[in-house]
Structure 1
Amino acid sequence: MPRPADGTTTASPGYRPSGARPGTEARRPRIAFAMEPAAAQSLLEAEVLDALAEFTDPEPLPALHGLRTDRARRVLADVELLVTGWGCPPLDEDVLAAAPALRAVAHTAGSVRGHITEACWERGVEVSSAAAANARPVAEYTVAMILLSGKRVLETARAYAARRDRGDWLASPPGMGNYRRTVGICSASLIGRRVIELLRPYDFEVLLYDPYVSAEEAAALGVRPVELPELFAAGDVVSVHTPLLPATRGLVTRELLAAMRPGAVLLNTARGAVLDQDALTEAVLAGRISAVLDVTEPEVLPPGHPLWECENALITPHIAGSLGNELRRLADLTVSEVARWAAGEGFAHPVRRERLAYLA
């Protein structure tokens, strides 16, 4: 079946049991797990393993962490699909040579860049990702922060705690609130699109910068397409959802940050290196803008970094993505993907080689 070049989710060929004849019971594909122990403990609950065992022949835990051990080579010798997760080593030529039957990888997280190598694509290994499931909590976090920032919840809570008096609530700043605010979305990624969808019930004007989205598609999304300078100049909140790629490193420049409205909020749940961290720090410390940062550059700021003590900055430790019971959503999507592949229906969420230049 030919694969489309536009990154759509047309089903890929999927598992085809060799030698199976009509009317006979199909052989269940052999699967194994490859991820770091903490990921396996969080994702591979008993119910998940039982569900997979209904239509596959799974290798018992523990999951493979190294792929060059004696046990790994024994397991890989007949595995047909790998269920991977955080910490999976690269599936390079040597690993693939030890896994001659490997035809598919179902990843329980988002990006596959850390372990899917060129050798996988050359072999024609089918790849699935749980990025769509992981996009949901990130989008929910983003919308929550947009709404909370509009109500100035953190600033008000600090002032309330210091004053211990409600004060004159009618004397609140005119810019406070979420009525007819302008929200700028930087990139119509999976997460960006989900944020746009979740913002529809609110009284926001939503702007979008994404050079790959046509005017017709923007209209269908219900947003107004703009260039990057207008996005930053017009937004009361600008939310960054651009994947970190060579072309997007430093995309948000000092000039763009300087163009933001006084009192505007920069929200980043993508990657810290997408923006100029030093310029952002200066703007926030000066009190011109505020920042809600679930990611920074580096990922953990040094202990003495001024943003730690800045009242205009809210920094969280990369919690927007799937955590706690949200991990089950990733596992459930992966079970569904493996079931489809084992039934010969192909993945519903395939990762396409030709789309890698646009994916995180």
Structure 2
Amino acid sequence: MTGDVWLPYHVDEFEKLPDGPGYRYWDGEREFPGDPADCLFYVVPYMKGPEVSRRPLSAMTSVQVVQTLTAGVDHVEPELRDARPGVRLCNARGVHEASTAELALTLILASLRGVPDFVRGQDREEWRSGFRPALADKSVLIVGYGSIGAAIEDRLIPFEVARVARVARSERTTERGPVHPLTELPRLLPEADVVVLSTPLTEATRGLAGADFLARMKDGALLVNVARGPVVDTGALLAELAGGRITAALDVTDPEPLPAGHPLWHAPGVLISPHVGGPTSAFLPRAKRLLVDQLYRFVNREPLRNVILETGR
């Protein structure tokens, strides 16, 4: 095989990569490591932003595979709309489930039990005791029931929740019960104490949690977003938070990074983490296993995993 693989990790960081392609290290630096036209397999740098991720793509005239290290592909997909037919875009399914599900549970528990208030009290040496909501006996609605949504449910079960409802683009049945289509949201939202967003960002989900969605949530409900910021209409959320009717825990925001002075920072009842669902100690070993497996499949002309789309189809 003649051609290059662009990796955001050095070759010596892997135990063994398949022979054949040339391996070039590129993690978003200004200078490219070689001619992008020679790249056959492009591994998108992690956490470098859409502009960096897309920068070499227009010159990668021979690329066959674009592999992200994220579950979502919205940061590179637009650049592939005009790509030649046959380019496969693959995501990192299997890499982020553990970390993102952990964070979703952390945000739920921290919000319900009032942990941010305890931290503020500790800063002021104030003892802030009292009754707080528990996750036990709550009804949870997971919007976006892919591998991350399923991993979140896995971690909810030991907390004795009363019920878990699942929503995805298409209706189906799982071992745990039915997965409802998005059209069922108006009926399901008023029943949920906690609503978790873990859906990909697509044209169908952009602004999904808008004014009508939020208005249908029950009084006192908690909205948790570990998906993408634009899945939530920030203006509509601010309006609901200002009235104190619902609360929110957000790992992602729109805009992002959230700029200083933005009203979301100080909105009542909101907990914000800085998009840290994926980057944990669990990321790198899983990412490297995925890349090694994908590269062996690519070199041996075997079916790739996690193909989200193929251009021209």
Preserved contact between residue 107 and residue 130 of structure 1 (Cα < 8 Å) = yes
RMSD of Structure 2 on Structure 1 (CA): 3.3
Which has the larger displacement, 103-112 or 327-336?
103-112
Kindly tell me: are residues 290 and 44 of structure 1, through their superposed partners in 2, closer, same or farther at Cα, counting changes over 3 Å? farther
Counterpart of 1:138 in 2: which secondary structure? helix
Aligned to 2:193: 236
Preserved contact between residue 209 and residue 233 of structure 2 (Cα < 8 Å) = yes
- In the alignment, is residue 84 of structure 1 matched against residue 48 of structure 2? no
For these two proteins, the number of residue pairs brought into alignment is 302
- In the alignment, is residue 351 of structure 1 matched against residue 308 of structure 2? yes
Preserved contact between residue 100 and residue 277 of structure 2 (Cα < 8 Å) = yes
Q: How does 1:68-79 map to 2 (within 5 A)?
A: 72-73=34-35, 76-77=37-38, 79=39
Aligned to 1:117: 80
How far residue 107 of structure 1 moved from its aligned partner, in angstroms, is: 3.4
Aligned to 2:65: 104
Kindly tell me: are residues 64 and 221 of structure 1, through their superposed partners in 2, closer, same or farther at Cα, counting changes over 3 Å? same
Preserved contact between residue 105 and residue 127 of structure 1 (Cα < 8 Å) = yes
* Structure 1 length-normalised TM: 0.71
How far residue 84 of structure 1 moved from its aligned partner, in angstroms, is: 3.4
Task: Please list every run of 5 or more consecutive structure 1 residues that lacks an aligned counterpart in the other structure.
Answer: 1-27, 35-39
Kindly tell me: are residues 223 and 300 of structure 1, through their superposed partners in 2, closer, same or farther at Cα, counting changes over 3 Å? same
Q: 1:150 aligns with which of 107, 112, 117?
A: 112
- In the alignment, is residue 296 of structure 1 matched against residue 256 of structure 2? no
1:17-44 Cα offsets, whole Å, 9 max, x none, are xxxxxxxxxxx6643216xxxxx3xx44
Measure the CA separation in 2 of the matches of 1:191 and 1:121. 31
Larger Rg: 1
1:71-95 Cα offsets, whole Å, 9 max, x none, are 633x744x54333334343534x53
- In the alignment, is residue 334 of structure 1 matched against residue 291 of structure 2? yes
Preserved contact between residue 199 and residue 205 of structure 2 (Cα < 8 Å) = yes
- In the alignment, is residue 194 of structure 1 matched against residue 159 of structure 2? no
Aligned to 1:12: none
Q: How does 1:152-171 map to 2 (within 5 A)?
A: 152-159=114-121, 162=124, 164-165=126-127, 167=129
Measure the CA separation in 1 of the matches of 2:247 and 2:253. 14
Q: 2:164 aligns with which of 206, 216, 224?
A: 206
Measure the CA separation in 1 of the matches of 2:87 and 2:273. 36
Which has the larger displacement, 56-65 or 246-255?
56-65
Which has the larger displacement, 249-258 or 58-67?
58-67
Aligned to 2:23: 59
Preserved contact between residue 182 and residue 237 of structure 1 (Cα < 8 Å) = yes
Counterpart of 1:185 in 2: which secondary structure? strand
Measure the CA separation in 1 of the matches of 2:308 and 2:37. 22
Measure the CA separation in 2 of the matches of 1:211 and 1:80. 32
Kindly tell me: are residues 223 and 153 of structure 1, through their superposed partners in 2, closer, same or farther at Cα, counting changes over 3 Å? farther
Kindly tell me: are residues 342 and 274 of structure 1, through their superposed partners in 2, closer, same or farther at Cα, counting changes over 3 Å? same
Aligned to 2:13: 47
1:208-244 Cα offsets, whole Å, 9 max, x none, are 2334123xx1x52335748212332121111112222
Measure the CA separation in 1 of the matches of 2:309 and 2:21. 26
Kindly tell me: are residues 162 and 287 of structure 1, through their superposed partners in 2, closer, same or farther at Cα, counting changes over 3 Å? farther
How far residue 257 of structure 1 moved from its aligned partner, in angstroms, is: 1.5
Measure the CA separation in 2 of the matches of 1:353 and 1:57. 22
Counterpart of 1:200 in 2: which secondary structure? helix
Structure (1 or 2) with the greater strand fraction: 2
**Structure with larger RCO (C-alpha < 8 A, sep 6+):** 1
- In the alignment, is residue 260 of structure 1 matched against residue 217 of structure 2? yes
How far residue 155 of structure 1 moved from its aligned partner, in angstroms, is: 3.0
Kindly tell me: are residues 55 and 286 of structure 1, through their superposed partners in 2, closer, same or farther at Cα, counting changes over 3 Å? same
Counterpart of 2:256 in 1: which secondary structure? coil
Whichever residue aligns with residue 222 of structure 1, its letter is G
Preserved contact between residue 31 and residue 83 of structure 1 (Cα < 8 Å) = no
